[in-house]
Structure 1
């Protein structure tokens, strides 16, 4: 309710009746449009508008927002005005003004009461739920679940999800994931009842949950994750909150190798890359004389840590392993420092206790939050709850400049690089990230970085600036997702920050963005420094991907292609350019025929030869191949390199970008 009211207030202030009319036109169908698309067999989610009330007006706003989201799944969204286009079947009865319809295959497929499709999350969730009838099953009893487990054994694994109620953000996250993975896994949905009791969950859990049931491989070949009978599939619980990002990462983690072999010290192993960057690493050491026993031990522990941590077996026979013999294990948590901590363990339970204790602390924090939320009464909306809990709290904004419609152009002109955060005060994610943004600004100020101008825009107050109305001459399109971060340079289009919503990730991106892209390199010393040294003292622990462009002369056609690609990679990848005489030496060493690109991914051992790409296509195609080549080998499939329209996948994804697999553009069902 609060989210709807907030949106309406923003909409009224920014555009009023004119914007309402334009919005309606974008999704309004004529009778001819309706019948044409119906005969073509396209899927359509339509509302037939008879009379407009305040409730209907709010629904139409959400309907407009869902149009962009559902088009990624091949569903057209629109409305038909019964006053202008009286379609007899759907405009005759008054009760139909409280109903929306889904059409599929040239006929009405199903209908929804507006009580069940009240906002963009519920619309997307319910429509996808209706479409994915075979991929997502709803079970009521444990007997139903047992029957599905028996049917799936030896064929498919099962993703079992509990959501508090249908039409929620968690329900939408599950449906969007099922759309991509539905042909690979059997998705099952529950909303409570005896199934939770079988899973040993409280009768009224406050948090949504996900379990992965290992049914495809016979249970006799698995080390059981939890106590199960021979009838049941072993299961692994997802420890994180149910969101599109977390669920995707969880499924990818279960597809990762159970145990990975390494032949260097744990400190030399890079931290996990996307999509595992928030996953702990556990290292066990193996000796040549007991390698088979060590592998069995590692496999047993890996199953017990499945979905919680990645396990790596370090082979001490390698001369690169220098860790003292007194240590037999190590671990790395996904923290800022990425520091590896070494241990001397006496049993596997010591490792489990380490991560179980951390998990219990997180659950205790969640339980405290639930108790606080229980006192909110009518504030049952996430945004309203966030606003309520933060009432009276003001951020210290001294380290950032507050941009307005009046001072925007003057402030941006003062610096070669302006980093602007666009946020809403009533959006919980915006307010949380605002704190991190301010911390980054203070950190840059302490480091005496004076060529970066850190700014914020309150889009609830300066709606005309955020809406980027015609004639405003701002270098960006209307801000459609919050929070959004733009990097603005004079006389250039704004660049979207597509990284994780953490201060550390943003700081690294800004520091990398200050550097030239590509960096011209003219001597062997400069190349060595480019490949081996940190790009900046403040990034001493950060190891970026590096790329070298080999271009013989400034007139060679590949120069413009590579330069344009390098500008698109600015802030994400460190790019260098070799020209003239230096090119021939590197080209001969790596059997390259310039124009070409050498790639040095951060996850690869520096002693391994770089990947080679030829610059024989457009910058867009070159970018696609670069992003693909930079992905670590464990990430396979579902790669999208298309430009992404929505930052954070409808305000809740923690990261996105062309490296990201499961982000809100053109998600296609995989086979």
Structure 2
């Protein structure tokens, strides 16, 4: 959902790290080498590189804990050219530092052979505090500390016309936020003036409470930008707050956004303007239109609005007089949101306030209440706005809260009830039904995508698809699979063509007199639209001649939705009536919406079978979407005796030997249960043609690893993720290693044990080194870089654990609760059955809660299942 930009791949200096860790046994073993060790320490001290050293005689429990953290910090400090060492004063005596005290509680920072600063071990108690304090001491001259507004104003006067300022507020020194700020200073210190505050009156000038309990950052625009008179005449530098939690990656993205042009002028239609590129990939774009007669006025208005939206959106001014601009005159505003591809939405707005409201959350509820209690608390929450929401763990609920004021109603979607459901399904060739719960965050989020698909189908004049919704909180009898509602005038009572709905949201494709087809893809607009478009096509398509077969395989408009490249399956049979046809029809019906299927018979089938080296019929040919060969070559499968066996064979044939992992295909490959040999590549490597060649070269080497790995590679699943195309890949990489390393990065994930191994970044990714590394991992010669988290899928926020909330209810809660069904009057016998069913369902839920393991080792149990 939210991804970050690579930051830790900057060109930081690298030096060797001096590690002199010794336990008591090692100290005594090195007794005869104390002189050499002291000489080595002196050499490092005089190398001109910073050195962070602890001198000690004895180790107490507190010192032992500190030494563990000191060892962990060695790798982080190594990135900044800082060495870490521990000197055992029982073995070697360093004058002035190895004192007569047995338990020493000081650690020292040297630079250029001089003592820069000393710290109490209590002050540098973990990795964050060690890294932040050490960097703060080394970069002391590059960071200014302020406490009052007068201090800040003096720095603004000094910086005016020269450089911009970044002001960071942290609750206290030595925290993770302090470390993030100092890491940013290390990279950008020569470009911006950095300011640090830990509180005081300066917060009031920044619009914050003196008791603020969360870190923050602001960008002060003190360097004059072209076209801005305000900056030259104002006494203070304009402020832009960073609206995300303070971290290294968010600071990097924020600074890149501040460095972007305030206003860009374009001479093409908004639909043809490319979306922002990393690291601005997740920034909205706002388009305003300029007319020839009011060009200067439009430019002034756009500049004013650009300052209002600084840090929220990229503003572009479109000149209508350009012949490339095709936007109708009725629209004066357009915008593109991140995560929605290249889709541009057009609006007609009356003033700047309406435009601003597109991106700025309106507050003030607390001011309007004027009272205390619950209303005042709600107002405070509303006033805080996005900065608080950005730190919520449940991102779906976060999105729902942000969009709580928007309407999800659509004229393209029909809301059905138990009374009209069966009649509506019988009247349409294809009904796409969304079963949801109004109070469920995921359901509400997906409703927006569902409505977008319905609108897109209506705009495309597709009349054979009926988009409907069913609120299972109201029509529980229908969602439970009960044959309710008025019987038709003629014929038997309606039979519900689906099993009880137990997971929300659920999408079913329904046809008259046919079993329901369940949509199991991702809950997004593009994936659902592609599934519906493929489901409209016949399955299989009868292909009578070679021309039809060629069009089918090449992706003709009548057989393939625009913008997609689905897999294809061909069934080859002697006649239409042979027994294997029924097996093929059953399998392709189950694959409808996911693959395109066709069928050949007689001489045409025999010819195709001979071309694929299998003259005997029946035969099934599988063509992966990535294989666009001419003539096309597919995988030949013998037709098994059942549809389930054929489905398994087709699924295996569609899997690539070294796939590119995406959000859509990840579950299919995880279901194999094989450890992942996962390569991460990204667009930051593709800034020029040389970078693109390097990426292609790395992928070629990895395919060579697959081909030359033999039995070793058969145990793993070699795969790769492109961070530019799969935005969640950055978060995956950061969650695995704790940070984003330089790309390309190769990770080995042992799924059963949870161990993670990181291929050395300084070793080129080539066939022989990678195979040697894999061999050393199997021999236990490599140390894990980390471990995966608990694979069980549980709610991130306790509030959303509905089952736990229900368990806290009084005994008999589920038995006392009778499902509601508005508009349906049940006899007392049916009501008793409903109660029994509710009790049974409650038992099933409790059993599911006691055993959270899913039926498949890689398929998490549904979070939102309730009836």
Secondary structure of 2:97's aligned partner: helix
Matches within 5 A, 1:466-485: none
Quote the Cα distance in structure 2 between the aligned partners of 1:618 and 1:647.
20
Match of 1:61 among 48, 58, 68: 68
User: Does residue 305 of the first structure (1) align with residue 312 of the second (2)?
Assistant: no
Stretches of structure 2 that go unaligned for 5 or more consecutive residues are: 1-20, 28-33, 365-381, 394-502, 508-516, 528-550, 568-592, 596-625, 628-656, 663-682, 702-721, 725-729, 746-759, 763-867
Match of 1:293 among 281, 285, 297: 297
Match of 1:40 in 2: 47
Greater mean deviation of Cα atoms: 241-250 or 214-223: 214-223
Query: Cα distance, 1:568 vs. partner?
Result: 10
Match of 1:256 among 260, 275, 300: 260
Match of 2:350 among 346, 350, 368: 346
Quote the Cα distance in structure 2 between the aligned partners of 1:271 and 1:24.
59
Matches within 5 A, 1:624-663: 647-648=733-734, 658=743
Query: Cα distance, 1:172 vs. partner?
Result: 0.6
Match of 1:156 in 2: 163
Q: How many residues are treated as equivalent by the alignment?
A: 438
Contact conserved, 1:219 with 1:234, CA < 8 A, in 2? no
Query: Cα distance, 1:306 vs. partner?
Result: 1.1
User: Does residue 314 of the first structure (1) align with residue 318 of the second (2)?
Assistant: yes
Quote the Cα distance in structure 1 between the aligned partners of 2:352 and 2:73.
48
Contact conserved, 2:57 with 2:102, CA < 8 A, in 1? no
Contact conserved, 1:170 with 1:242, CA < 8 A, in 2? yes
Contact conserved, 1:328 with 1:345, CA < 8 A, in 2? yes
Q: Give the greater-gyration-radius structure (CA).
A: 2
Matches within 5 A, 1:30-429: 30-94=37-101, 97-217=104-224, 221-223=228-230, 230-335=234-339, 339-357=343-361, 363-364=384-385
Structure 1 pair 278/267, CA: closer, same or farther in 2 (3 Å)? same
Deviations 1:127-163 (A, max 9, x none): 1111112211112322222222221122111111111
Secondary structure of 1:97's aligned partner: coil
Query: Cα distance, 1:22 vs. partner?
Result: 13
Contact conserved, 2:60 with 2:103, CA < 8 A, in 1? no
Quote the Cα distance in structure 2 between the aligned partners of 1:48 and 1:302.
55
Quote the Cα distance in structure 2 between the aligned partners of 1:220 and 1:238.
24
Deviations 1:206-260 (A, max 9, x none): 1111111112217993446xxx984322222212211111111111111111222
Match of 2:616 in 1: none
Structure 1 pair 369/73, CA: closer, same or farther in 2 (3 Å)? closer
Quote the Cα distance in structure 2 between the aligned partners of 1:335 and 1:149.
37
Contact conserved, 1:223 with 1:303, CA < 8 A, in 2? no
Contact conserved, 1:23 with 1:64, CA < 8 A, in 2? no
Quote the Cα distance in structure 1 between the aligned partners of 2:234 and 2:303.
21
Quote the Cα distance in structure 2 between the aligned partners of 1:235 and 1:331.
24
Quote the Cα distance in structure 1 between the aligned partners of 2:151 and 2:357.
35
Secondary structure of 1:79's aligned partner: strand
Secondary structure of 1:128's aligned partner: helix
Structure 1 pair 67/615, CA: closer, same or farther in 2 (3 Å)? closer
Secondary structure of 2:91's aligned partner: coil
Query: Cα distance, 1:31 vs. partner?
Result: 2.4
Deviations 1:431-458 (A, max 9, x none): xxxxxxx99xx9xx97779xxxxxxxxx
Structure 1 pair 99/447, CA: closer, same or farther in 2 (3 Å)? farther
Quote the Cα distance in structure 1 between the aligned partners of 2:66 and 2:89.
16
Secondary structure of 1:196's aligned partner: helix
**Cα RMSD, aligned residues only:** 5.5
Contact conserved, 1:219 with 1:233, CA < 8 A, in 2? no
Query: Cα distance, 1:658 vs. partner?
Result: 3.2
Contact conserved, 1:240 with 1:246, CA < 8 A, in 2? yes
Quote the Cα distance in structure 2 between the aligned partners of 1:63 and 1:51.
16
Structure 1 pair 68/568, CA: closer, same or farther in 2 (3 Å)? farther
Query: Cα distance, 1:526 vs. partner?
Result: 7.2
Match of 1:512 in 2: none
Quote the Cα distance in structure 2 between the aligned partners of 1:279 and 1:221.
23
Structure 1 pair 351/569, CA: closer, same or farther in 2 (3 Å)? farther
Structure 1 pair 615/340, CA: closer, same or farther in 2 (3 Å)? closer
Quote the Cα distance in structure 2 between the aligned partners of 1:76 and 1:242.
27
Query: Cα distance, 1:345 vs. partner?
Result: 1.4
Query: Cα distance, 1:351 vs. partner?
Result: 1.9
Higher RCO (C-alpha under 8 Å, 6+ residues apart) = 1
Quote the Cα distance in structure 2 between the aligned partners of 1:286 and 1:367.
37
Contact conserved, 2:129 with 2:179, CA < 8 A, in 1? yes
Structure 1 pair 203/569, CA: closer, same or farther in 2 (3 Å)? farther
Quote the Cα distance in structure 1 between the aligned partners of 2:263 and 2:25.
53
Deviations 1:384-441 (A, max 9, x none): xxxxxxxxxxxxxxxxxxxxxxxxxxxxxxxxxxxxxxxxxxxxxxxxxxxxxx99xx
Structure 1 pair 223/338, CA: closer, same or farther in 2 (3 Å)? farther
Structure 1 pair 307/93, CA: closer, same or farther in 2 (3 Å)? farther
Contact conserved, 1:164 with 1:207, CA < 8 A, in 2? yes
Quote the Cα distance in structure 2 between the aligned partners of 1:367 and 1:265.
36
Quote the Cα distance in structure 2 between the aligned partners of 1:220 and 1:616.
41
Quote the Cα distance in structure 1 between the aligned partners of 2:690 and 2:139.
42
Secondary structure of 1:40's aligned partner: coil
Matches within 5 A, 1:467-546: 533-534=563-564
Quote the Cα distance in structure 2 between the aligned partners of 1:539 and 1:129.
55
Secondary structure of 1:354's aligned partner: coil
Structure 1 pair 316/63, CA: closer, same or farther in 2 (3 Å)? same
Contact conserved, 1:154 with 1:216, CA < 8 A, in 2? yes
Match of 1:390 in 2: none
Deviations 1:564-617 (A, max 9, x none): xxx999559xxxxxxxxxxxxxxxxxxxxxxxxxxxx99x9xxxxx96989699
Deviations 1:36-75 (A, max 9, x none): 1012222111111322222222212211111111111110
Secondary structure of 1:90's aligned partner: coil
Query: Cα distance, 1:174 vs. partner?
Result: 0.5
Quote the Cα distance in structure 2 between the aligned partners of 1:242 and 1:296.
33
Query: Cα distance, 1:338 vs. partner?
Result: 6.5
Deviations 1:287-316 (A, max 9, x none): 233333322221221121111211122233
Contact conserved, 1:42 with 1:75, CA < 8 A, in 2? yes
Deviations 1:469-501 (A, max 9, x none): xxxxxxxxxxxxxxxxxxxxxxxxxxxxxxxxx
Contact conserved, 2:274 with 2:342, CA < 8 A, in 1? no
Quote the Cα distance in structure 2 between the aligned partners of 1:201 and 1:446.
51
Query: Cα distance, 1:362 vs. partner?
Result: 8.7
Contact conserved, 2:334 with 2:346, CA < 8 A, in 1? yes
